[in-house]
Structure formats: structure tokens, C-alpha cells
Chain A
Amino acid sequence: MLKLEDLQVTMDSGTLRADMALVPGRRVALVGPSGAGKSTLLDAIAGFREVAGGRVTWQGRDLTHVPPQARPVSILFQDSNLFPHLRLERNLGLALHPDGRRPDAEARARIEGALRRVGLDGMAGRKPGTLSGGQQGRAALARVLLMARPVILLDEPFAALGPALKREMLDLVREVADSLAALVVMVTHDPRDAEGFAHEVVLVAEGKAQAPVAVDAFFADPPRAFRDYVGVAG
């Protein structure tokens, strides 16, 4: 269980409050107007942002003041998910050996396997710059697979991809998460992503992250704040 207990995070525009419990193996979408604090909440879970009050716990363990590198969390950012000067093998190897040593035969086999899982068979020798945007996303997901952490955070990593490609990537995320039985928390500004992908939806608006709602229930009777924002956004 990932619990946010009366969590308060300071933002430029005020304080964001969150109080909820998220269940392992579920996929949760954070939706809401831009600037409302979706990415801020993700950063607080990942440990990149000090919290002003409350607690973050995972399976009963208090993570509130644990540094990011010690949290059971892997995260995909909007960009810069791969080091552009390193071949995929080295990029992915960092998930297995954070001391940066050259992957040995066993590690290379695991890397190849992960790349195969995401459809990048035989691309271990390529540098990120020679890959398409979709392929880069796949490579980053292969690394998430190797990191094998129980919580996966996605900060709109596929926002720059077209709709069909994005759908493909989300399917892949689902596969990866299922194989790890991981909790996925995804930020999105596109409600359609949430509909096809998530079990639950968390609305972040007006300084508050609402409790998660089952995705069907959420879209059958959207909260007012969500209607306002979708209405304005067109």
C-alpha cells in the first residue's frame, strides 16, 4: 500500500494536500488542470521535493524523509530519461549496476531480454539519438523493467508522441507493470489516456488531490472541477 497521509506540499501557487491509499498492482491516473500540482505530487512521492507536512509510507515503511535513491520507486520523466552519449546497453546497465561498471555476460543477457520484451531486439549497441521518440520511450521502459521496483511513476513521458503511438506505449507500460505486479501512478493531461489505461483516477485541482475513484465511476459522473477544466480546455 502506498499511503499519502495528510500530505502537504508547498507549491508556488499555494499548498497541495493529499490523503489517500494506493494499492499495489493498480494503475492510477492523476488528472487535472495544468499547474494544479500533478507533477508536484509525483515528485513528492519520488522524493524530489521536500514535503511541508504529513507522511508518505510504502507497506508501512515511512518514506517521508528517505532520499530519492533509497525509495522503492522508478520514474520516467517528460524528457532526459536516457543519457544521450551512452549506448542503450550502458544506459540499461545502470539499472543493474549503479556503480557504472561494464555489464558482464549475465547482465548483457538480461538487458537483451528486456529490450526484446519492449520490441527493441538487437538495439543494445545504439545510442538514444539514433532512435525514434517511440523507441526511446521503449528503451526507458526496458530499464524500468530491469529496475524491477514496486512503484512506477510516469510524468507524462509520452506526451510528445502521436495518439496511436501513445496508446501502444501505454499498453507496453501495462505489460511491464503487470509482470512486476507494480503500482503505476501516471500524470496525464489527456483524460482519454486515463480512460483506456487506469483503474482509478485521482483529480488534482484547487490545491487538493481527491481520493481515487474507479475510472468508470469517475467518467460516468465527473466532479465539477474536472468538468470545468475539460470544458475550458475544449
Chain B
Amino acid sequence: MAPRALAIAAALALAVLTLGPVGVVLARAGGFGAFGPGDWQALRFTLWQAFLSATFSVVLAVPVAKALARRRFAGRGVLVTLLGAPFILPVIVAVMGLIAVFGQAGLVNRLLGALGGPNLDIYGLHGVVLAHVFFNLPLAVRMLFSAWAAVPAEHFRLSASLGLSPRAQWRVIDAPLILRVLPGAFTVIFVICLTSFAVALTLGGGPRATTVELAIYQAMRFDFDLGRAAALAVMQLVLALAAGLVALRVAGQAGFGAGRDRILPRWDGQGGLARGWDGMWIVAAALFLLVPLAAVVLRGLPGLLLITPDTLRAAGHSLMVALGSTALCMAWALPLATRRGEFLALPAIAISPLVLGTGLFLILRNFVNPFDMALPVTGLVNALMALPFALRILRPEAEAVTRDYGRLRASLRMTSLAWLRLVWLPRLRRPMGFAAGLTAALAMGDLGVIALFADPDRATLPLQVYRLMGSYQMEAAAGAALLLLCTSLGLFWLFDRGGRLGAEA
């Protein structure tokens, strides 16, 4: 057990750093009179795109998850693992990949052009929804997929021995399962998409495709209207809190589908039509996820030669931010790895990075030039954002260590320090490595609060990619994006691997 004083200090720091900025935002917000018609438009757009994104993600997830759950094929394990990858994929990298495939000069348009079809435009509502589906379809698939994997094998045996028709099996097993999982999946994805900033920044924009988060950024950076930014931040806060409360009710114990991967022997769907149908969905999903990533790699390789000192400096900043975030998040997570601590960290989910950033900006400007604090603030905000995930990973394991060895510890009269050093930390190596890897990758790829604070001297790598894109240096941007992809995945791999090495059962 970590010393109590440490846990209290961590909890206090958490409370001050989340509630403080929110309090400042509330005090600064000028009331709803500050909102122009554009702001209400942003609210409508935020809700509408989140609704569309969640709908497409869950509807498309059903056939993909069903196919994955009942087919064995080469590369299946890799595909299932890849479904977890979007979580640590930097948004800007995915956006680059999607532009390479669906953009003006992208693969799809070239194909359509050759066939004499229409020309697609990725910017605007459908681009935002497309990117959100790219990120969240895998999440929905994983949630459904683990529900299917958790169905007792006897149900399928029984269904086979009863000779149930496909329609009957659908009604008895599949449909109830889908109805149980889907509302939770929909709500979780809806909430995630409500706080969309980087996607809206890169693929949206303009009066018809601005989210509230993006509007906060624009009010701060373009209009320098702090009152309106604060008012918008309150709007976002109310939105996220309301949606978060609904999500807690609906999603409940739905979990994130990080669960098991087992293939149950099944006797249904042996016909050619069913095989073809499942195969089509698996291929389509794999292409949808893999082609944009492959495009990032292929286009990025020549771009690597165009990496400038600026880009390298930005990469250095990002590494510092990522490592700082990781250290901070772990220092927070370890003393708080209890049920109560996890509860304390819940508000961090509802408070979006831009809201927190606005609050910190308002506080800091009383003391320093906020732009000087761009990197520390980015590190802090990312640590806060990653904390709920880190606790979700660490808490059950930390409790298991105490449950399994607490009595032995007492019987041996071990001191707190010996317990911490010899038992607690070594036993938590694996989950710590995994949580640290996630935090580092998230912070490395984050394009959120840094956009609020950045000046030309203090870019992070994701922001640098965005700036290169904005100045139409697409090849240099592609190189920087590949560098970002490699460092993000590399950091995750290093930490996760470090946790596994020498961690024995």
C-alpha cells in the first residue's frame, strides 16, 4: 500500500488541476449572450457529426465483428491486434492516410476518375465522419467481438444440435447480444466524437463544419476573444458532462472490449453465400484500416529526406512532452490505483483538453506569457487525459497484489518501503509498462492543447505536420507524419516491452 499521505497529495493535485481551470473558465464566461449564431451552429454540428459517426461505426461493426468471430483465416490474429492500434495512432497521421486514399488526388478519386465517376471531396462533414469511423469502427468491432467470444460454447453446440436455421440462431443468440452491446458502444463513441478537435481542425473548419472544440480554438487564436472562448468551453463542458452521465447509465459495464480472443467452434454459416459475405466484410474492413496506413508509410519514405531541422526540433519537443507526460501520469496513477482513485479521475474524462487548456491559459496569463508554457501545459494536459486509462489498467492489478500478498506482508512484518520496492512495483511491471506505453503514445501524437498555446518556436511534431500540410508542403508533411508514426508506435513498444522483460508470473 502506498503511503496514505502520498495518495492524498496526488488526489489533491488532481482536484486542483482539473477543477481549478474549470472554475476559472466558469468565472470568465460571459453567459450565453456571448454566443453568436456561429456558435449555435457549432453545437448543432458537433452533435450531428457525433451522431453520424457513432451510427456508422456501430452499424458497420456488426457484420465485421460477426465475420471475425466465426471465421478462421491466416492473418486473423494480426487483424484483431490491429483493431487496437487506432487508440495509439496519432490523429494527424490517420488524417494524412485518409487524405491519401479519399482526398482530392487520392486513390479513390483516381479510380473513380478512370471510370468516369464523380470527384469526392474529403473536407467537410463527410470527411470528419469518415475519420471518426476510421478511429471508432475498430472500437465498436472489439466491443462486439469480445461479447461474441464470451458466448458460452454450449449455446452454439445446442443451436447446432437443435438444427436451428440461420434466422432462428440470429434471433436466439446474435440479435440479443447485439442489442445488449450496441447501445453502450454507440454512446461511448458518441461521447468520444463530441470532443473531436484534431479531426475537425484538419478535415472540417469553416462555418459548416466546426465543432465546439474547434470554435474554442478559433475564438482564442483568431479572434483572441477570451470571454467567448470561456463561454464555449462551458458549452463543451455541459455537453460532455451530460453525455458522460448518459454514457455511464447506458454503457455501464460494457467495457472497452480489450478482452479475450478465442474462436468458438461453430456450425453455422457454412454455406458459400455466408462465407462470401463474411469474407467481403473482413476484406473491406482490413482495406479500410490498412490502406491509409500503408499510404502514410509509402508516401512518407521519400519525404523522410525532406525532414528539416525544424521538424527534428519539433520531434524533440514531442519526445520531451511524451516522456514528461508519462512520468507525471505514472506518478499520479500509482498512489491512486484504488477504486476511490479511479473515481476521482473520472472527471478528467468529461473535461476536454481544450476546456482544460483554456482554463490553464486564463490562469497562466496572470503570471507568465502563456505561450512560453506551451510544452509543460501540453505535457500536463496529456498526463491528465491519460490518467483514467492508466488507472483502468493498473487498478485491478494493484488490488490483486494487495489481495494475494497483503497477509504475507503482514506476517513478515515488511516495512512500507520494502513492500513498495520488492513487491508492489515489481509485481506491477507489466501493467505499468502497458499504461506508460499508452500514455507516451497518446502524448506523442496529441494535437490538441498545443494548438492553443503554440508559437513558431514551440511546435510539437503533430503540430509541425499540420503546419506543413497547411503550407502545402505535402511531401515534407508525409515524411514528418511517418516519423511521428514511428516514434509513437516505438514509444509504446519500448515501454510495453520494458514492462514485460523480466516480469515473471
Contact with A100, one of B407, B408, B418, B503 (Cβ below 8 angstroms): B418
Residues of chain B from 420 to 435 with CB closer than 8 A to chain A in the complex? 421-423, 426-427
A69 to B408, CA, bound (A): 9
Q: CB-defined interface of A59-72 with B at 8 Å, one 1/0 digit per residue? A: 00000000111100
Query: Interface segment, B53-61, B202-210, B409-417?
Result: B409-417
Contacts of B427 in A (CB 8 A): 83, 85
Contacts of A77 in B (CB 8 A): 407-408
CB distance from B412 to the nearest CB of A (A): 5
* Nearest opposing residue in chain A for B407, CB measure: A48
Is there contact, CB below 8 Å, between B410 and A68? yes
How many B residues face the partner with a CB closer than 8 A?
22
Q: CB-defined interface of B490-505 with A at 8 Å, one 1/0 digit per residue? A: 0000000000000111
The answer to the question of A73 belonging to the interface, with a C-beta cut-off of 8 Å to chain B, is: yes
A107 to B417, CA, bound (A): 20
A73 to B116, CA, bound (A): 86
The answer to the question of B288 belonging to the interface, with a C-beta cut-off of 8 Å to chain A, is: no
How many A residues face the partner with a CB closer than 8 A?
27
CB distance from B318 to the nearest CB of A (A): 34
A121 to B423, CA, bound (A): 25
The answer to the question of A10 belonging to the interface, with a C-beta cut-off of 8 Å to chain B, is: no
Residues of chain A from 149 to 190 with CB closer than 8 A to chain B in the complex? none
Contact with A83, one of B407, B411, B423 (Cβ below 8 angstroms): B423
Contacts of A69 in B (CB 8 A): 409-414
Query: Interface segment, A16-24, A91-99, A191-199?
Result: A91-99
Q: 20 A-B residue contacts at CB 8 Å? A: A68-B407, A69-B409, A69-B414, A74-B411, A75-B411, A77-B408, A81-B408, A83-B422, A84-B504, A85-B426, A85-B504, A86-B426, A94-B414, A98-B412, A98-B418, A99-B415, A99-B418, A100-B419, A100-B422, A127-B504
Is there contact, CB below 8 Å, between A98 and B413? yes
Given contacts A47-B410, A90-B422, contact A85 B415 (CB under 8 A): no
Contacts of A132 in B (CB 8 A): none
Is there contact, CB below 8 Å, between B405 and A80? yes
Is there contact, CB below 8 Å, between A99 and B417? yes
The answer to the question of B223 belonging to the interface, with a C-beta cut-off of 8 Å to chain A, is: no
Q: Name the residue among A69, A73, A90, A94 with the largest chain B CB count within 10 angstroms.
A: A94
Is there contact, CB below 8 Å, between B504 and A100? no
Contacts of A74 in B (CB 8 A): 411
Is there contact, CB below 8 Å, between A86 and B411? no
Given contacts A75-B407, A80-B404, contact A85 B418 (CB under 8 A): no
